[in-house]
Structure 1
Amino acid sequence: MKGFLGQFLGYSGAQLGLLCLAVFLVMAAMPDLLAGPLQTAINATGDFLAPPSSQHLLGTDEVGRDVLNLVVHGARISLTIALLATIISLLVGTTIGMTAGYYGGRVEVWLMRLTDFFFVMPSFVLALVITPVVLEVLGRGGEILGFRPSLFVIVVVIGMTSWAFVARIVRSQTLSLKERTFIDRARVVGTSNLNIMIRHILPNLVPQIVANGALVVANAIYVETSLSFLGLGDPLQPSWGTLLSIAQRAGAASAGAWWYLGAPGLCVLTVSLSFVLIGNALDDTFNPRRRVIP
């Protein structure tokens, strides 16, 4: 474990990514402590579209709300959606990829044709088509598992449309692992196929799943931001994408309110880049062929 951490932290990209990610995780964990309760039009404390000042470090929006307050609270929503969607994506992708690689034959053919469809079709396009339809069926009132319906639907849709990349990688690794000697020994002693996949193959897939999972998070943040920017988010629980959407509708660009668009946009860019750096460093650490001297 110490050797892995030393190798991983030896990459400057990993250090930078972890530092940036730690800052945003603290923001997501303690938004009230860092920036106070979420401001609304009723309890706004500033003037309309006021530029950054000592009182409002990132300026205010079109109703006088502090942009720093909105960005800090938006971190919890954006990161929660991205992480939950990534968990769904990894579970689906790992299950399909491992099943296809282990069983082969017609099972592999049908599962990989399904994977190819989701791989060729951009997840954002699928999410853009599916999300409004599901929202129309469920409605926007009430809560589902602690989320408002719009956010719950975004989490599920992103997770169910972003798994193809993971499935292809897991399948290729499973094809190699199932030919190993320890798998043959497990079959000889009568271990069931399910137990072989869970107890013998899955643990060997974890490094690849973790490394690529970081890249899936970055994509999930991008898709969530895009969907929210197009108006599919929830203004009562604003994410960074929702803030960008509200700023665009308020005419922040034409009014020269660069801070209103720049703050949430920079957060999205920074977090996405952090996960990409971490993912690349993990891949270099786990994969000796890609390993280079930092």
Structure 2
Amino acid sequence: MIRSQTMAIRNKEFIISAEVMGESKVRIILVEILPNLISIVFGGFLGTVIYAMGAEAPLGFLGLGDATEVSWGSMLYWAQVSSSLYTGAWWEMLVPAIALSLTGGALALINMSIDQVSNPKLKTGPHLKLWKKLNKEANKRRGLV
């Protein structure tokens, strides 16, 4: 996906004009192409991190992970093996589960916010103001204001 987007950007007019003006290839990549790929690169990176967390935790919970490493999945596995819910030590199961879900949710929200900041089609500023204005006018017509 990154390669196809790079190839699409490479054929844009501002890249061709930079080449015609004699800009170096390194400058074209760093100044012209890379800023247009920020959302795709970071989105792919954060998506991969979320996927890796989502793949490691169930494998660790099933006991298929590395037993010498401490991870949230292995913490859940050892809490289940020691019957922590039956013995009243519920925090051994709850803390890693909450940490895993909060981290995954936070990374997903960061991914969406990077997308909104870097993608001009997703910017909500003017659209939100227009919606508030139209909502205010509709409430006036209904007699709610």
Q: Max radius of gyration: which structure?
A: 2
Q: 1:234, CA displacement in angstroms?
A: 3.4
AA of the residue aligned to 1:216: T
**C-alpha distance in 1, partners of 2:99/2:23?**
52
Q: 1:277, CA displacement in angstroms?
A: 0.9
Identity %: 31
Query: What whole-Å deviation, never above 9, does each CA across 1:65-100 have from its counterpart, x for those lacking one?
Result: xxxxxxxxxxxxxxxxxxxxxxxxxxxxxxxxxxxx
Tell me which of 264, 268, 271 is aligned to 2:103: 271
Question: Number of aligned pairs?
Answer: 124
Matched, 1:181 2:13: yes
Structure 2 CA distance for partners of 1:230 and 1:253, relative to 1, 3 Å: same
**C-alpha distance in 2, partners of 1:216/1:247?**
27
**C-alpha distance in 1, partners of 2:9/2:22?**
18
Q: Which residue of 2 aligns with 1:220?
A: 52
AA of the residue aligned to 2:54: Y
Matched, 1:291 2:117: no
Contact 1:233 1:239 in 2 (8 A): no
What is the RMSD computed on CA atoms of the aligned residues? 2.9
Q: 1:203, CA displacement in angstroms?
A: 4.0
**C-alpha distance in 1, partners of 2:92/2:51?**
23
**Please, what TM-score do these two structures have when normalized by structure 1?**
0.36
Gaps of 5+ in 2: 129-145
**C-alpha distance in 1, partners of 2:120/2:22?**
33
Gaps of 5+ in 1: 1-167
Structure 2 CA distance for partners of 1:198 and 1:227, relative to 1, 3 Å: farther
Q: 1:227, CA displacement in angstroms?
A: 2.4
Tell me which of 45, 70, 79 is aligned to 1:247: 79
AA of the residue aligned to 1:290: L
Tell me which of 207, 227, 233 is aligned to 2:65: 233
Contact 2:39 2:119 in 1 (8 A): no
Contact 1:244 1:264 in 2 (8 A): yes
Q: Which residue of 1 aligns with 2:140?
A: none
Q: Which residue of 1 aligns with 2:92?
A: 260
Q: Which has the higher contact order (CA 8 A, sep 6+)?
A: 1
Structure 2 CA distance for partners of 1:281 and 1:258, relative to 1, 3 Å: same
